[in-house]
Structure 1
Amino acid sequence: MRLAELTWPEVPRGATVLVPVGALEQHGPHLPLDTDAVVAEAVAARAAALAPHDVVLAPVVAFGASGEHQSFAGTTSIGTEALRVVLVELVRSLRTWAGRVVLVNGHGGNLDAVRAAVAQLVAEQHDVAWVPCAVAGADLHAGRTETSLLLHLAPASVRLDRAEPGALGSAAELLPRLRAGGTAAVSANGVLGDPTGASAAEGAQLLDAMAARVLAVLAPVETGAAR
């Protein structure tokens, strides 16, 4: 159930709330700026639909920490500290009626904010966790992984005729340069990977795999196992 569509008496007290956390940033010449938000919301929605107990889907946090992409037009970032504060205040508010909150993060640049927010909230004794929208073997940014996901979730938004490879190095090779000089320092087109071969069918499989990670975090709630 979607929180935004409920009236207040319909909100199930004590339910688990999934909060998708996205970003608005460049994703190469072929993917839309809201790619991370679209993916995070879809992963959370899929998990909420499959969960056997009450799970409420909150609206997506659409702006994230995207300073590494600021050289590209359209990127809109609130930064790590602002995002941390937003997440802390959101969870504090949700927890006045929700039993548990799980952040579903769709953007790697949000990691410092998400981790810091969760650590603070756990110290305040809130029942909160977070899950990344990630799978083994995924490329870094706007490559085959995200292109496949968008071909499945929002095919009309993909400019497939503009898809082209970007920086093809490994994370170990690219990330130090990216942290020092931003994405533009390692990739002129903003792509970290190769979208060649992306497909909607692969995107559907990726979505299921990412949703399964969220369900695994939800599982202790219904089994009574320790977190």
Structure 2
Amino acid sequence: MNSAYDRHVAFPSGLGNSTSRQLRSMSPMLIIPVGSTEQHGPHLPLDTDTRIATAVAHAVRERLDAPVPGEWMVAPPVCYGASGEHEGFPGTVSIGTEALRLLLVEYGRSACGWAPRLAFVNGHGGNLQALAAAVTRLRDEGRDVGWVPCFASGADAHAGHTETSVLLHISPEDVDAAAWSPGNTAPLAELMPAMRSGGVAAVSELGVLGDPTTATAADGERIFAEMVDGCAGRMRRWQPDRNGLLI
């Protein structure tokens, strides 16, 4: 084999473009982005959560691979989640908490047949219950699995300053600045009673909780770096709590 081929065999970065032959000799640990397909106001794409989780996962892999190239690999994302609060807006496709839980459990059981460790990187808050239940079950079965959130301090709730800024940083061509408009900026705790019965549509006709008009790419770069730093730190420490959340 020539040296270029050897390097390609040894260190592919993504599961989707790898071969079974490569994986047989590598036994990489696996990072799985988990997102959603749901409305994000009139200005952001439906796969916003999936894009963010996937971008964070790839950046984390580069960070973790610095000492040992090829140790981690990023899987194709889980693109559908528990998004029932966004029903009523065109484009939302929710599989619900129970279906997502089952999907993640079976995913983990299968992938752990060849990957020694799995880390789910979550980009959608509605997935938390399913992730905690699935990862707890997998760990109870003796599998080395954990999960991390794409967390940013001071973030607004949905399609506002935070997510719009991150998209301006990682995917600016898909942000429709001409269509953005402030949504409901009340604290999420105040909105929850109405949202529990009527979803996001009950508190925001636009489907926006926050103000995207203040978003900037520079702020998105800062927020994205905070997400990557947080996820990478948790994965390096690998200290799962009782629900498999890496702390």
Band of TM-score, shorter chain = over 0.9
Aligned positions of 1:134-173 closer than 5 A: 134-173=151-190
1:105 aligns with 2:122: yes
Taking the TM superposition and a 5 Å limit, the aligned residue runs for 1:50-65 are: 50-51=63-64, 52=66, 53=68, 54-65=71-82
Q: Identify if the C-alpha distance between structure 1 residues 175 and 13 changes in structure 2 by more than 3 Å, giving closer, same or farther.
A: farther
Report the Cα offset of residue 13 of structure 1: 4.1
Counterpart of 1:5 in 2: which secondary structure?
coil
* Residues 1:5 and 2:22 are matched in the alignment: no
Deviations 1:37-72 (A, max 9, x none): 100000001000111331100000011111110110
1:9-47 deviation per Cα after TM superposition (whole angstroms, max 9, x unaligned): 222644221100010000001001010010000000100
Task: Output the amino acid matched with 2:115.
Answer: A
Show the counterpart of 2:212.
195
Quick one: which amino acid aligns to residue 84 of structure 1? R
TM-score by length of structure 1 reads 0.94
In 2, Cα distance between the equivalents of 1:122 and 1:63?
Answer: 23
5 Å-filtered alignment, 1:41-56, equals 41-51=54-64, 52=66, 53=68, 54-56=71-73
Contact 1:13 1:97 in 2 (8 A): no
Q: Distance in 1 between matches of 2:123 and 2:188?
A: 17
Moved more, 201-210 or 141-150: 201-210
Which of 53, 68, 71 is equivalent to 1:40?
53
Partner of 2:92: 75
| Separation in structure 1 between the aligned mates of residue 113 and residue 40 of structure 2, nearest angstrom | 36
1:185 alignment partner, one of 202, 222, 226: 202
**Do 1:101 and 1:128's aligned partners in 2 also have CA atoms closer than 8 Å?**
yes
CA offset at residue 73 of structure 1?
Answer: 0.6
Q: Which runs of 5+ in 1 are unaligned?
A: none
What SS does the corresponding residue of 1:39 show, helix, strand or coil? helix
Q: How far 1:99 moved relative to its partner?
A: 1.3
CA RMSD of aligned residues (A): 1.5
Question: Is the 1:14–1:100 Cα contact (8 Å) retained in structure 2?
Answer: no
Cα deviation code 1:92-136 (max 9, x no counterpart): 111111111011010011111111111111111111111111111
For the residues of structure 2 that align with 1:210 and 1:98, how far apart are their CA atoms? 24
Report the CA distance between 1:200 and its aligned residue. 1.2
Q: Can you give the 5+ residue segments of structure 2 that lack an aligned partner in the other structure?
A: 1-12, 239-245
DSSP 3-state at the match of 2:16: helix
Q: Is the 8 A contact 1:106 1:133 kept in 2?
A: yes
The alignment partner of 2:169 has SS state of helix
Deviation at 1:88, TM superposition (A): 0.6
Worse overlay, 11-20 or 138-147: 11-20
Q: Is contact 1:64–1:80 with CA below 8 Å preserved after alignment?
A: yes
Larger Rg: 1 or 2? 2
Deviation (angstroms), 1:174:
1.3
Tell me the SS of whatever aligns to 1:41: helix
% same residue: 49
Q: Aligned partners of 2:160, 2:186: CA distance in 1, in Å?
A: 12
Q: Give the AA of the match of 1:182.
A: G
Q: Aligned partners of 1:125 and 1:61: how far apart in 2? A: 23
8 Å Cα contact 1:13-1:98 kept in structure 2: no
What is residue 20 of structure 1 aligned with on the other side?
Answer: 33
